[in-house]
């Protein structure tokens, strides 16, 4: 009898434990935060009854103060107000249609919003995000349209001596037909990895929506990791879960990624139904990826008919003009003579690389390369790069 009672008690405890564990997963704050209201205002809420001061650090902040905690680039701080229940809240003014990033700052310490599960990682930094629609950011949403597929693949790089992770978007219907498609190779910046265009860039949503609207041709989008010292994004490699470091992880051999890029093209063209001709290949990238796009398209003659350069770091990264960066103007002129269907440049007016891009445009003018140029508000930020991708892709493969 005693054994039966003991067994029953143990069974009750076992059934109760998953319930307790499940509760522990959710942190105990039953609030809604980062709520986008009908008038495009956004309401934040945070339970912290003992806090003395809570602020929102966001790239939408209309009150710009020094942000001592970092985390969200280009942010100001907005004060929140505490009610009698210890809930801090803030409702913003109406915001323009965009994808925004933010964190809370609680008594000077930055923290993510426990009531918003949507968090992106940018190397070792995490930020909450939300989307305000009713405008251009509707392209960044998952809408009720036909969807493509995103696949995480691994390819072997003999020149770099490792298997490397790569993200590949295939357009809606790819799996159900035998057609061949054009390819856009889309490259990230210095602070990113192969996941960055998928998360902050919203590349798959942008392509789904533009293709469904008939504004962009169905295409594959190939997003590799541009750091030759890395197998894959942090947390996705054989290093496991670790806090990403700094320069040591991005200690790339100068010119190695550009020189090895044909391995990526060969992998894609061997494993996917794509058109293996110049007129069906495009390459584009932001910052370091813009720099890579300039040089990959230049040293691989008659490979790309479309080149997109978003906020390029060219004059900074190719200083010295050695190796593959030698004879820069001569090879640009040869690229022009061989023929390029579209050479597209974008830069924000407040970008710290604005003057470098101005110099690069002068170089293109000097060699007679025709190009399309887009200048926007903003600096070296994702707000610009998502817009550039949205403008660039409808011009491809026409």
Q: What is the band of 10 on the pLDDT scale with cuts at 50, 70, 90?
A: very low
Q: Which of 16-30, 34-48, 272-286 has the lowest mean pLDDT?
A: 16-30
Best CATH choice for the domain 143-395 from the list 3.50.50.60, 3.40.50.1820, 1.10.760.10, 3.30.420.40? 3.40.50.1820
Given a cut of 90, whether residue 136 has pLDDT beyond it is: yes
Average pLDDT over all residues of the chain = 89
CATH superfamily of 35-134: Immunoglobulins (2.60.40.10)
Given a cut of 70, whether residue 25 has pLDDT beyond it is: no
Given a cut of 70, whether residue 320 has pLDDT beyond it is: no
* Domain map (residue ranges) of the chain: 35-134, 143-395
The reported pLDDT for the residue numbered 251 is: 67
Q: What is the band of 319 on the pLDDT scale with cuts at 50, 70, 90?
A: low
Q: What is the band of 121 on the pLDDT scale with cuts at 50, 70, 90?
A: confident
Tokens coding 357: 């891009």
pLDDT tens-place string over residues 55-83:
999 999 865 444 444 445 456 899 999 99
Given a cut of 60, whether residue 3 has pLDDT beyond it is: no
Q: What is the band of 243 on the pLDDT scale with cuts at 50, 70, 90?
A: confident
Given a cut of 90, whether residue 123 has pLDDT beyond it is: no
Q: What is the band of 318 on the pLDDT scale with cuts at 50, 70, 90?
A: low
Single out the residue of 82, 213, 240 nearest to residue 146, CA to CA.
Answer: 213
- Laid out side by side, the sheet with 87-91 consists of 35-36, 42-47, 87-91, 81-82
Quick one: how far is CA 348 from the chain centroid?
A: 17
Please provide residue 374's backbone torsions phi and psi, each rounded to the nearest 5 degrees: -125, 125
The reported pLDDT for the residue numbered 173 is: 97
Q: 4: Cβ–Cβ under 8 A, 6 or more apart, which residues?
A: none
Quick one: how far is CA 19 from the chain centroid?
A: 37
Q: Read off the pLDDT of each residue in 376-380 and give the average, rounded to a whole number.
A: 95
The end-to-end CA distance of the chain, in Å, is 81
Q: 208: Cβ–Cβ under 8 A, 6 or more apart, which residues?
A: 142, 143, 145, 146, 147, 148, 172
Given a cut of 90, whether residue 360 has pLDDT beyond it is: yes
pLDDT tens-place string over residues 137-193:
999 999 999 999 999 999 999 999 999 999 999 999 999 999 999 999 999 999 899
């Amino acid at each position: 009898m005693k054994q039966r009672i003991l067994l029953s008690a143990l069974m009750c405890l076992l059934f109760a434990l998953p319930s307790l564990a499940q509760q522990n997963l959710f942190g105990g704050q039953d609030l809604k935060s980062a709520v986008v209201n009908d008038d495009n205002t956004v309401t934040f809420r945070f339970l912290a009854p003992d806090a003395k001061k809570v602020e929102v650090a966001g790239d939408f902040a209309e009150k710009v103060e020094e942000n001592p905690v970092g985390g969200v680039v280009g942010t100001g701080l907005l004060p929140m107000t505490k009610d009698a229940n210890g809930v801090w809240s803030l409702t913003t003014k109406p915001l323009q249609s965009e994808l925004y990033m933010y964190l809370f700052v609680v008594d000077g310490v930055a923290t993510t919003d426990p009531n918003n599960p949507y968090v992106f990682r940018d190397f070792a930094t995490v930020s909450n995000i939300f989307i305000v629609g009713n405008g251009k950011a509707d392209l960044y949403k998952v809408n009720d349209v036909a969807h493509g597929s995103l696949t995480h693949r691994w390819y072997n790089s003999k020149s770099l001596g490792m298997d490397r992770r790569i993200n590949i978007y295939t357009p809606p219907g790819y799996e159900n037909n035998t057609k061949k498609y054009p390819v856009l190779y889309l490259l990230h910046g210095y602070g990113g990895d192969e996941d960055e265009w998928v998360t902050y860039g919203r590349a798959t949503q942008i392509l789904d929506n533009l293709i469904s609207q008939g504004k962009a041709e169905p295409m594959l989008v190939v997003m590799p990791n541009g750091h030759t010292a890395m197998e894959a994004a942090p947390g996705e490699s054989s290093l496991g879960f670790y806090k990403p470091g700094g320069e040591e992880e991005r200690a790339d051999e100068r010119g190695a990624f550009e020189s090895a890029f044909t391995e990526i093209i060969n992998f894609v063209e061997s494993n996917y139904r794509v058109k293996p001709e110049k007129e069906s290949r495009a390459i584009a990238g932001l910052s370091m990826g813009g720099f890579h796009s300039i040089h990959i398209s230049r040293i691989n003659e008659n490979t790309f008919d479309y080149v997109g350069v978003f906020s390029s770091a060219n004059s900074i990264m190719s200083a010295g003009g050695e190796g593959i960066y030698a004879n820069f103007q001569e090879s640009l002129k040869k690229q022009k003579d061989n023929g390029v269907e579209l050479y597209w440049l974008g830069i924000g007016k407040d970008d710290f690389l604005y003057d470098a891009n101005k110099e690069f445009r002068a170089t293109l003018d000097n060699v007679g390369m025709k190009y399309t140029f887009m200048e926007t508000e903003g600096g070296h930020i994702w707000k610009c790069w998502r817009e550039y991708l949205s403008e660039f892709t409808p011009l491809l493969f026409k």
